[in-house]
Amino acid sequence: MNKTDIIVIGAGPVGLFTVFEAGLLGLNCTLIDNLDKPGGQCAELYPEKPIYDIPGVPFQTAQEHVNALLEQIKPFDYELHLSERVDTMEEINHENETFWRVKTTENKEFISKNIFIAAGAGSFEPRRPPNIENPDKFINKGVEYAVRSIDKYRDKNVFIFGGGDSALDWTVELSKTAKSISLVHRRDAFRGAQHTEELMRNLVKKDKVQLLTPYLIDSIIGNDCVESITLKNFETNEIEPYDANELIFLFGLNKKLGPILEWDLDLNGKKITVNTENYQTSKDGIFAVGDINDYPGKLDLILSGFHETTLAVQEAYKRIFPGERVPFGYTTSNSKLQEKLGVKK
Ligand SMILES: Cc1cc2nc3c(=O)[nH]c(=O)nc-3n(C[C@H](O)[C@H](O)[C@H](O)COP(=O)(O)OP(=O)(O)OC[C@H]3O[C@@H](n4cnc5c(N)ncnc54)[C@H](O)[C@@H]3O)c2cc1C
């Protein structure tokens, strides 16, 4: 069981900045995010969109903002657990003290005196193929909703489903190493970058990619793993069989509050109610920062989340070191940061 000063649920901009503020006070963090990369909405929904309202930064794309936050927290100790969702949270007694324990979908357990819920609008969940019953039974056995390792697809018969940037990008990329690659979409029009679509169509002309439109998955066949599939041709209504080893469904993501609604916290609609003194929820030691929280005058802005987590971290410190003064000071005189950055006095 991993013990840490602060468990942060969500590695969006507010979760990432929590590591910085905690680090200034000498506290360490464990970040857990359902996505396969840090950055939350910035990285997942609008990486190339400009952001103009970060103080002192006139212009940054959302991905540049995430990269800058990752750079800023480099000096500090933190763990980042990706591609797993925090599902349960409960109070436990550990060595005669009260702690919170969280469990993830990967069966990992973490305990801490402080949980920061920085879960934004909820966890991003991949959209499943609508007409296949329980496609998840083939997860890691031929069905995926994201590409995690290019090597996995080497010399395999790969089918990619979808019509956006991810489907186009991975079709082009995996065509270099897969045994065969087929792109399946319900119509012959794509929503992704024109340049990548052109690359894909050139590969089709060279017989390096098989383009199947207008088609839809009809069934997945296999015992222990995917062995073949059938596809429905929308024009002819015929069901066609194909040999397949790996299926990658790239239909985008849904935002789901999911387990958070079951944690018995005071809510206002789908947001967690907090006080504005330290952004604690209705339970001691559980804080909610960033887009997930609610209080009078709340604005869903990155800047607001940064303020909230800065104050919440102060309270977290007091919970770990009761009665001690919180070591407040400007970063230029923060010995922990100067030490980590190797600044010589
Ligand atoms: C198109 C668009 C443009 C925007 N432009 C701006 C702008 O210009 N300026 C600005 O200030 N704001 C902007 N925003 C808003 C800004 O993106 C949000 O305020 C910000 O992302 C909130 O950060 P966060 O860290 O609270 O949450 P998020 O960025 O939503 O991150 C939350 C993370 O928590 C994870 N998560 C949730 N539940 C769980 C769980 N149970 N287990 C594990 N992980 C979980 C999610 O996967 C996600 O990665 C924009 C938003 C959008 C959609």
More confident position, 261 or 138 = 138
Say if residue 147's pLDDT is above 90.
no
Nearest residue (CA) to ligand 1, atom 19: 301
Range of weakest confidence among 259-263, 270-274, 325-329: 325-329
Nearest residue (CA) to ligand 1, atom 27: 120
Nearest residue (CA) to ligand 1, atom 8: 51
Q: Average pLDDT, whole number, for the chain?
A: 92
User: In this predicted structure, what is the pLDDT of residue 149?
Assistant: 78
Q: Kindly report, residue by residue over 225-257, the tens digit of the pLDDT.
A: 999 999 999 999 999 999 999 999 999 888 778
Instruction: Give the pair of three-digit tokens for residue 145.
Output: 């909703």
Nearest residue (CA) to ligand 1, atom 39: 123
Say if residue 47's pLDDT is above 90.
no
Nearest residue (CA) to ligand 1, atom 10: 301
**Rounded average pLDDT over 131-150:** 89
Nearest residue (CA) to ligand 1, atom 47: 123
Å from CA of 12 to ligand 1 middle: 6
Residues 6+ apart with CB under 8 A from 101: 1, 89, 90, 91, 92, 109, 110, 111
| Domain residue extents for the chain | 2-124+254-341, 128-251
Q: Are 190 and 220 spatial neighbours (Cβ–Cβ below 8 Å)? A: no
Q: Kindly report, residue by residue over 305-316, the tens digit of the pLDDT.
A: 999 999 999 999
The kind and range of the H/E element at 101 are strand 97-104
- Mapped onto helix, strand or coil, the DSSP state of residue 25 is coil
Mutate to test the pocket of ligand 1, among 19, 41, 81, 88 (most ligand atoms within 8 A of CB): 41
Say if residue 345's pLDDT is above 60.
no
Q: What percent of the chain has pLDDT over 90?
A: 77
**Rounded average pLDDT over 90-96:** 90
Q: Kindly report, residue by residue over 197-210, the tens digit of the pLDDT.
A: 999 999 999 999 99
CA distances to 20, 82, 318, 330 from 70, in Å? 9, 14, 26, 20
The kind and range of the H/E element at 294 are strand 293-294
Residues 6+ apart with CB under 8 A from 327: 25, 26
User: In this predicted structure, what is the pLDDT of residue 311?
Assistant: 97
What pLDDT band is residue 333 in, cutting at 50, 70 and 90? low
Give the atom of ligand 1 at the shortest distance from the alpha carbon of 84.
43
Å from CA of 333 to ligand 1 middle: 31
What is the pTM assigned to this prediction?
0.78
User: In this predicted structure, what is the pLDDT of residue 181?
Assistant: 98
CATH superfamily entry for domain 128-251: FAD/NAD(P)-binding domain (3.50.50.60)
Q: Does domain 2-124+254-341 have CATH number 3.50.50.60?
A: yes
Å from CA of 86 to ligand 1 middle: 16
What's the CA gap between 247 and 160, in Å, rounded? 6
More confident position, 151 or 290 = 290
Do the domains 128-251 and 2-124+254-341 match in fold? yes
Q: Kindly list the protein residues whose Cβ atom lies closer than 6 A to any atom of ligand 1.
A: 9-15, 32-35, 40-42, 45-46, 49, 51, 53, 85-86, 118-124, 259-260, 290-291, 300-303, 305
Å from CA of 305 to ligand 1 middle: 10
Mutate to test the pocket of ligand 1, among 293, 302, 308, 310 (most ligand atoms within 8 A of CB): 302
What pLDDT band is residue 60 in, cutting at 50, 70 and 90? very high
User: In this predicted structure, what is the pLDDT of residue 342?
Assistant: 67
Say if residue 332's pLDDT is above 80.
no
Residues 6+ apart with CB under 8 A from 240: 230, 231, 232, 233
Amino acid (1-letter code) at residue 122: G
